[in-house]
Amino acid sequence: MPGHIVSSYDNDLEDLRRSISEMGGVAEKMMAEATDALVRRDTALAEAVILADKRLDTLQREIEERSVLLIAKRQPMAIDLRETISAIRVSGDLERIGDLAKNVAKRVVAISDQAPAQKIVQGVEHMSDLVQEQLKDVLDAFSSRDVKAAHDVWERDGAIDALYNSLFRELLTYMMEDPRNISFCTHLLFCAKNVERIGDHTTNIAETIHYLATGEALAGERPKNDASNYATVTPAA
């Protein structure tokens, strides 16, 4: 009964999509809560984020295994093969996003006893808000297979890198102004870097959506604007 086989295959794919959607929800929540925990210096919330990461790891492993079994059992071709490959890739990116959010949460615990100027934290919060929007948009684009929306996310990653770059310089300046800021600002630097890397993973997902729809890799250079690898700041004389 070929009809039965096709329908069961569709069910398998539908299950994969549901699991990815669940992963996306967990990753979004982790990122929002890690940022809240940072802004409010809420260690209990940070601990909750750290725990939530386990669910994401489990889901990712399951999706990977189910996708591979699906490929082995059904020998899908063309679009159906791309569906399963995309599931593996997107779940990998979401798992990494969870790791990065967890790392921000761990740093909230580290700096919980310090009371830095709220203005410094707001830069990271603002950047995180933008990346959360990117994550939401790319997950919507994945659900609706909306290639244009995915391209929009891809294009906007350059702005986030530019923001990270200016935040990097700002944090270095704070450290130079007062050595008591160094420990705190170092953790904020890593938080900002983690958020920037979450942005990179949303860009990866956007590229996967393009591949899923067209069968081709997204052409052209990524709109990278992260010059912070090259940035230095000199203390005032």
The site for a second copy (CB under 8 A) is made up of: 61, 64, 68, 71-73, 75-77, 81, 85, 88, 92, 103, 106-107, 109-111, 113-114, 172, 175-176, 179-180, 182-184, 186-187, 189-190, 193, 217, 229-235
**What would the two tokens of residue 209 be?**
């959506």
From the number of C-beta atoms within 10 Å of its C-beta (0-12, 13-18, 19+), residue 173 rates as middle
Of 36 and 64, which has the nearer Cβ to a second copy? 64
Smallest distance, Å, CB 46 to a second copy?
11
- The nearer residue to a second copy, 92 or 223, going by C-beta atoms, is 92
Round to whole Å and give the CA distance between 208 and 213. 9
CB of 62 to a second copy, least distance (A): 12
Cβ closer to a second copy: 75 or 219? 75
Least gap, CB of 237 to a second copy (angstroms): 10
| Residue among 132, 133, 105, 111 nearest 44 (CA) | 105
Q: Smaller CB distance to a second copy: residue 111 or 137?
A: 111
Angstrom distance (rounded) from CA 157 to CA 67: 29
The encoded tokens of residue 157 equal 């990653």
Round to whole Å and give the CA distance between 127 and 67: 34
